[in-house]
Structure 1
Amino acid sequence: MQAKVVVVGSLNMDLVTRAPRLPRGGETLHGDSFVTVPGGKGANQAVAAARLGAPVAMIGCVGGDAYGEQLLAGLLVEGIDCQAVTPIADVASGVALIVVDDSSQNAIVIVAGANGRVSPASVQAVDHLLVQAEVIICQLEVPNEAVAFALKRGRELGKTVILNPAPASGPLPSDWYAAIDYLIPNESEAQALTGLVVDSRASAEQAASQLLAMGAGKVIVTLGAQGSLFADGQGFEHFPAPQVKAVDTTAAGDTFVGGFAAALARGDTERQAIAFGQVAAALSVTAAGAQPSIPTLKEVQAFTPL
């Protein structure tokens, strides 16, 4: 089946421990549990889009190790087209070291591994996937050169281009913005991109306005339990988050992005797609782990908020 959503991005094995709280610098804590879970923002968003109804293809790299085999197998089980997921024999797969505390907040350290081998050439080599796509999604866990190429090629082809600027540590290259239809940062990423403190709906509006002025087509700032803020040239709209009992917020943002893309790919309006993505993200925080927490289309359709 021709992929309607193509994700250019990372595949990581998440090494997850739960602890009563996040450790301070120099401190050692006793954890409560440890699991390995398939993750990576690119793979998470691909799985979310697939489970939520879209035909999906993934472009990325894994290592020539057991983690790489497991990551690839996991995507194939979801029905994702993995012809463009390349094993790199002499490199370890990417990993994310994640600590989740009792309030369901997390702290994450990423080691890129094979994700660092994604390049403009490797994306160009599977250009037919981009040509066939309706929506192209990128993040920032692979080299910037590859992201820039995918964004600009998507714009050339007239596709709907989504950038989730995660993890952002500073402003984006100025020439990226014109290629982006939907820029989807969370509060900390919006702050990194703009230099503004983003800690409220009002400050999110200021940041979104600045990002629009930089050239982004439209901006969605995800606000966690407070929902999301949509901004375009006509103004702002706040979408409240469904009320749920949170267990683990890992991959909630990825689930939103994947759900939003899947809804756009099937023809929903952007406001319908935002609402759909928010329900999917809300359901994801009610379960532990990255990909294991991502809901299916049937689960979203059956969702009833608290």
Structure 2
Amino acid sequence: MITVVGSYNIDIILKVNKIPEIGETVIADEVYMNHGGKGSNQAVSASRLGSRVKIVAAVGNDNYGKNAIEFWKTENIDISDVKIKNNVSTGTAYIFVDKRGRNVIVVNRGANYHLTEEDISESLDGNILLTQLEIRENVVKKALKEFNGIRILNPAPAVLKDTDILSLTDIITPNEIEFKELVSTDDLEYGLHLLLKKVKRAVIITLGERGALLATKDGKRTLIPAPKVNVVDETGAGDVFNAALAVYLEKEYDLETAVEYANKVAALSVTKIGALGPKLEEVNKFLEEINKDEEKD
């Protein structure tokens, strides 16, 4: 089983011709409301790929929170450790997506910020732990410290005050921006050296359409490409990558192969609107198409 300790947000997605600059007003072409939050995105995406998943999260005692719980039920996710917080609203995220699929995001953490260490004390079972930084650092730290299994930290947003968290992590999965924020250097190799001194197993830098760079403690560096696709919306691609990584590691694939599959699943996810990953049957069809194309080449 995969246990996800993290956030839930309602995503309010505004499709715009261009991302507004400071002081600029733009007109939204379309507006969508979807289920989101890094924790929820990863939990749902992993469940859709066929894994048993538990989510440990907090929502408000409002319609958004109630809808989240019903949504997780339909996605076959264990909600026994979801906490309902009174007097606070469910988290929300405001996402601008331009015509090239690029995005900027502003998050109001709401109930996510009220998930406590006590809330997760009896929740940490399973083979894989996925967690992120949209909840309090002390909660993330406790989850990583007490979990017995593979521990994956997606350091987003990359505002990490307690760097001891890294030493409790097996695999860390920043994107390029998050990586630079964590290491405070533009020197890739030096930055990897800094992180690999702390994490127990590997650093995986997600690179969007270029795939992912896998760096392990033994000094190995492997650039693993992603398939070329028509990008519609990049929102949630990192969450889908992390979910798929957890799923394939739970299936006991080696790390490099798990990253390869995670790249492919994430690539498929950006071909449609929204932050949630594709279902297993969609992934299998996509993988068949990729294999056919590779055979032709």
Deviations 1:17-74 (A, max 9, x none): 0000000111111110001100000000001110112100000100111111111111
The aligned counterpart of 1:269 is 254
Deviations 1:126-183 (A, max 9, x none): 23xx23x0001110000111001001112xx3x10000000113x5523222211110
Q: 1:51 aligns with which of 48, 54, 64?
A: 48
Instruction: Tell me, yes or no, if the aligned pair for 2:2 and 2:130 is still in contact at 8 Å.
Output: yes
**1:299 alignment partner AA:** E
Give the gaps of 5 or more residues in structure 1.
198-202
TM-score by structure 2 length? 0.94
Instruction: Tell me, yes or no, if the aligned pair for 1:187 and 1:204 is still in contact at 8 Å.
Output: no
Q: 1:213 aligns with which of 184, 188, 197?
A: 197
The 2-side partners of 1:206 and 1:29 are apart by 40
The aligned counterpart of 1:139 is 132
In the alignment, is residue 109 of structure 1 matched against residue 102 of structure 2?
no
The Cα shift of 1:196 comes to 1.5
In the alignment, is residue 93 of structure 1 matched against residue 90 of structure 2?
yes
The aligned counterpart of 1:193 is 182
Sort the Cα spacing of 1:298 and 1:172 in 2 relative to 1 into closer, same or farther, 3 A. farther
In the alignment, is residue 299 of structure 1 matched against residue 292 of structure 2?
no
The Cα shift of 1:206 comes to 3.8
The 2-side partners of 1:149 and 1:166 are apart by 17
Instruction: Tell me, yes or no, if the aligned pair for 1:13 and 1:95 is still in contact at 8 Å.
Output: yes
Q: Alignment RMSD, CA only?
A: 1.3
**2:156 alignment partner AA:** A
Within a 5 Å distance, the mapping from 1:117-156 to structure 2 comes to 117-124=114-121, 126-127=122-123, 130-131=124-125, 133-154=126-147
The aligned counterpart of 2:207 is 223
The aligned counterpart of 1:162 is 152
Instruction: Tell me, yes or no, if the aligned pair for 1:209 and 1:231 is still in contact at 8 Å.
Output: no
Sort the Cα spacing of 1:226 and 1:238 in 2 relative to 1 into closer, same or farther, 3 A. same
Q: 2:168 aligns with which of 179, 197, 211?
A: 179
Instruction: Tell me, yes or no, if the aligned pair for 1:184 and 1:219 is still in contact at 8 Å.
Output: yes
The Cα shift of 1:217 comes to 2.3
**Number of matched pairs:** 288
Sort the Cα spacing of 1:275 and 1:147 in 2 relative to 1 into closer, same or farther, 3 A. same
**2:101 alignment partner AA:** S
**2:109 alignment partner AA:** A
| Deviation beyond 6 Å, 4+ runs, structure 1 | none
The aligned counterpart of 1:244 is 229
- 1:302 counterpart SS class: helix
The aligned counterpart of 2:72 is 75
The aligned counterpart of 1:200 is none
